[in-house]
Amino acid sequence: MAGDRPRYFPDEPDVPEALPFTPGFGSTPSCLVGRDELIRKVCTLLAGDPASEGGANVLLAPRGMGKTVLLNEIEGAAQEERGWLVLAVAGTDGDPIAETHKTVVQAQHSMAQAHGEPARRPVSGVSLGAGVVSAGVAVAEEPELRRTSYGDDLRRDLGELAGSAARIGVRVLLTMDEMHAIPLAKARQLGSYIQHIAKRERRALVFLGAALPYITETLLADRKSTFLQRLAVHNVDPLPEQEARRGLREPIVTHGGIIGDDALDIAGSAVAGHPYMLQLIGDKMWRAAGGPGKPITVAHAKRAVAEADETLQDHLLAPTWQSLSDTDKRFLAALAVLADSGESPRVAAVCEQAGIGKTSASAYRRRLLLSGMVSPGGRGRLKPAHPAIGPWLRRSIAAGSIRVPEKDNTD
C-alpha cells in the first residue's frame, strides 16, 4: 500500500531556508566581494559619451571567475540607478543578429505600449522582464505580434529604439554574454551596426560583452572591424585571499552561522582566487555544519574543500581540458608532471617534456594562459592556475580517465 512506502523527501519547512551561497555558474552571490572598483570603472565608461572609446566594453575572464555575475550586476545598476533599457542577449554560434533583433523588436513593442502608442512592428518569441529584454525565451504568441523573420532590419530598429529611449531621457545598454561563441562574420556585422548607431547617428547606445580570454586571439585580433578593435577590455582578476575570506565570513554570519579563524583559513586559502570555488566551498561548509546557529569546524572546512575540488573538476576543469588542442593538452600534462615537485617549471623544460619545439613555446604559453589553466610562475616559468589542476591531471592520467594525445609529427 502507498501508506507503507517509506518517505524519502525531507519535510518541507514552513518558510524556505535562505541559503548564504549560490554555487552555480552565473548565479549572483548574496555577498559580491572584490569587484566594486571594476564595476564602478565600467559603469563610468558606459555613462560617458556613447561614441567615445568607453561606449563599447568587454569583460574577459576564465570560467568560474564570475564574468556573468559582473555582467548581471552592471545590468542591474544600469536599470536601478539610471533607468536604462537593458537588452540582454546570450552569445551563440547560431545567429546572434537574429536573436538581438528579436530582443530589440520586443522592446520597441513594450516601449510603445508603455507610452500609449501602437506598436509599429509585430513581434513574437521573446520575453520582457523588469526592464531587461532577454532573447531566446519563448512566450505564448499573440496573433497580432507574429513575425516570421529577424535580422535584416536590426540596424534600423536598434537605432530607432535608441532614439525612443533618448526621448524619455534614458539610453540603451546592449549586453552579450558568451561573446566568444559568436562567429566572426556575425560579430563584424553586429559591431558595424552598433558603431554606426552610436558614432554616425549619435544615438544613446552603449555595449558591454563578456567572454573567455581567448577572444583576444580570435574576435579581438580581427583587423577588419574597427568596433572589435576599439572594445575597451577589462580583465577580471582572481580575488585576493582577504576578499575571499570576507566573501565566506559575511554570508555565514549574516545568515546566523558561526565560523572560526582556523576553518576560515583553510577555506579561504582553497578558494585560490576563484569566485566559483568560494561559493562551492561556502555552500558545502554551511550544509555540512547544519545551517544557522551551527559552528563550522575545521573538519567541516576540510570536507567542504575536498568535495568542492571534485565538483570543480567535473564542472570546470574537465570541460576546459576537452576544449584544448592536442598539443596544448600535451603541454599542460607535461607542466602538471613537472610541477609535482612544488616548483614552477621553466617553459623550456615543459616543451622538452612534451616533445614540443621551443620555437613554438610562446604560442602554447599564451594559449594556455588565455584558457585560464596556467598562470605565470616567475620569469620564464609557469604553474597551474589553480591548486587542484595539477593533482587532478596527474591522477586522471594515471587512472586512464584522461588521455594525453600522441605527438604529431607536424608539431
Q: What 8-state DSSP symbol labels residue 293? A: T
Residue 59 pairs in a beta bridge with 210, 234
**Grid coordinates belonging to 367:** 594559449
Q: How far is Cα 365 from Cα 376, in angstroms, rounded to an integer?
A: 9
Q: CB 302: neighbour CB atoms within 10 A?
A: 16
Q: For 298, what's the count of Cα atoms within 13 Å in the CB-facing half-sphere?
A: 3
Closest alpha carbon to 206 in 232, 240, 234, 245: 232
For the chain, give the longest Cα–Cα distance. Answer: 74
Domain ranges of the chain: 36-235, 241-319, 324-399
Instruction: Determine the pLDDT at residue 200.
Output: 93
Q: For 46, what's the count of Cα atoms within 13 Å in the CB-facing half-sphere?
A: 32
Using alpha carbons, list the distances in angstroms from residue 92 to 177, 190, 227.
Answer: 9, 13, 19
Axis crossing angle, helix 154-167 with helix 184-195, rounded to the nearest 10: 40
Domain at 324-399, CATH class: mainly alpha
Q: How far is Cα 56 from Cα 175, in angstroms, rounded to an integer?
A: 10
pLDDT along the chain (411 residues), means of 10: 71 70 84 95 96 93 89 95 93 80 90 60 37 37 50 90 93 94 92 95 96 86 93 94 96 96 96 93 96 95 94 86 90 90 87 86 82 81 84 89 78 54
Pick the CATH number of 36-235 from 1.10.1790, 1.20.120, 3.40.50, 2.60.40: 3.40.50
Instruction: Determine the pLDDT at residue 147.
Output: 58
Instruction: Determine the pLDDT at residue 319.
Output: 87
- Phi/psi for 205 (5° steps) reads -125, 125
CATH fold for the domain made of 241-319? Helicase, Ruva Protein; domain 3 (1.10.8)
**DSSP string of 259-291?**
E-HHHHHHHHHHHTT-HHHHHHHHHHHHHHHTS
